[in-house]
Amino acid sequence: MSQPLRLDRLPRTVELERDGDGRACFAYVDQRLLPGGLSVARTHDWRVVVRAIETLAVRGAPAIGVAGAAAVAVWACNEGASEAASHGCAEQGSRFWELLESIAERIAGARPTAVNLAWGVERVATLAREVLREGALPSEVAASLFSQVKRMEVEDEAANRAIGLHGAALLPEGARILTHCNAGSLATVFYGTALGVVYAAAERGGIERVYADETRPVGQGARLSVWELSRAGVPTTLICDGMAARLMATGQVDAVIVGADRIAANGDVANKIGTYGVAVLAAEHNVPFYVAAPTSTIDFSISDGSLIPIEERDPSEVLPCPIEGVNVWNPAFDVTPARYVSRIVTERGVFLPHELAE
Ligand code: MRU
């Protein structure tokens, strides 16, 4: 790589803040506007956070995990504590918990496939339950949830940097990488998973080029991956999804690296629609297929990928102007069987798919 890596040019994707008046505020890069403009939106309303997740303003499994937790904290700090306080002292805690449970359910249900969302919400809900049991007031619980989200932000970046180092060790010098969707800094709090591996390798000069699939229908590759890679100074080439076979057949890919939305206990991987096809192509061309994801993406409660719920999104993403008589099927994710996955790279190290459960 000829130019130096410029990670300082990448924004933090999601961040929980406190206003001057002490209210909790969720700041997020509105990814719907990229690559046209980098804009950070702010809200004090948990409902707006949910809407941001549903509309892909905030997307990517690790980012929505932290955003989901932040939505609960925003509710607790800005609404929950005062609403519960309007009840008698003895009932405050139980009323607060009752409300929190139903709001947490609504937030966790915003998108079904990425397990990180439910994981993030569950993490703060569990903390709330614990501190309420110890007799904390709702306002004290709210403060604990705020701190917990700040810890999750730090942990997310640390996990991604660890994934990056483990993954970079797998790559040859001057690697040419193909990636699908955006598993970059924009999909996390900062740094990225699949692109975190690229950044870690690029930091020691080990990346010749990254090819980014467009990633129809929403264009996470075309709009987001190429934006952040080029902004960070990584040589980047955009290809249409259908060009990956030709790219591999002409010997231009040393490794495929993708992220994941949910990994089953047997190593089957749910990721953005189209990933499965790329994995089959990689196997056909003897190109290693690496999945980079934090352990929060592994769902040990699910034995194999057939049990992963697959989100179906609005037909207008595929066909913006409806044509009479034409149906559209728009599953947002597919499942790559474990046999096509060369290695799973987590913050705890590199695993063969079947080693996860061990
Ligand atoms: O629908 P999206 O854009 O949220 O889908 C995102 C992906 O499929 C990513 O590859 C995955 O979440 C990993 S992000 C580190």
Mean pLDDT across the stretch 60-67?
98
Task: Please say if the pLDDT value at position 173 is more than 70.
Answer: yes
- Tell me the two tokens of residue 214: 């467009």
Mean pLDDT across the stretch 207-219?
98
Task: Please say if the pLDDT value at position 329 is more than 80.
Answer: yes
Report whether residue 261 contacts ligand 1, using a CB cutoff of 6 Å: yes
Mean pLDDT across the stretch 86-103?
89
Contact 100, 155 (CB under 8 A): no
- Identity (one letter) of the amino acid at 121? V
- What are the CA-CA distances from residue 311 to residues 113, 287, 308 (Å)? 6, 29, 10
Find the 211 Cα to ligand 1 centroid distance in Å: 17
pLDDT for 133: 95
CA distance 286 to 280: 10
pLDDT for 91: 85
pLDDT bucket at 170, cuts 50 / 70 / 90: very high
Strand order in the sheet with 333-336: 298-299, 262-264, 269-272, 333-336
pLDDT bucket at 2, cuts 50 / 70 / 90: low
- As a whole number, the mean pLDDT across the chain is 97
Q: Which residues are catalytic?
A: 261
C-alpha 284: how far from its chain's center? 28
Q: What percentage of the chain carries pLDDT values higher than 70?
A: 99
Report whether residue 294 contacts ligand 1, using a CB cutoff of 6 Å: no
Contact 33, 43 (CB under 8 A): no
Find the 284 Cα to ligand 1 centroid distance in Å: 24
CA distance 138 to 84: 7
Find the 187 Cα to ligand 1 centroid distance in Å: 6
Q: What percentage of the chain carries pLDDT values higher than 90?
A: 94
- Tell me the two tokens of residue 332: 């947002």
Residue-wise pLDDT for 266-295, tens only, equals 999 999 999 999 999 999 999 999 999 999
CA distance 295 to 304: 16
Residue-wise pLDDT for 22-36, tens only, equals 999 999 999 999 999
Atom of ligand 1 nearest to the CA of 258: 10
Residue-wise pLDDT for 120-162, tens only, equals 999 999 999 999 999 999 999 999 999 999 999 999 999 999 9
Report whether residue 59 contacts ligand 1, using a CB cutoff of 6 Å: yes
Report whether residue 181 contacts ligand 1, using a CB cutoff of 6 Å: yes
User: What spatial distance separates the first Cα and last Cα of the chain, rounded to whole Å?
Assistant: 38
Report whether residue 274 contacts ligand 1, using a CB cutoff of 6 Å: no
Task: Please say if the pLDDT value at position 85 is more than 70.
Answer: yes
- Tell me the two tokens of residue 291: 């999945």
Task: Please say if the pLDDT value at position 250 is more than 90.
Answer: yes
Find the 275 Cα to ligand 1 centroid distance in Å: 11
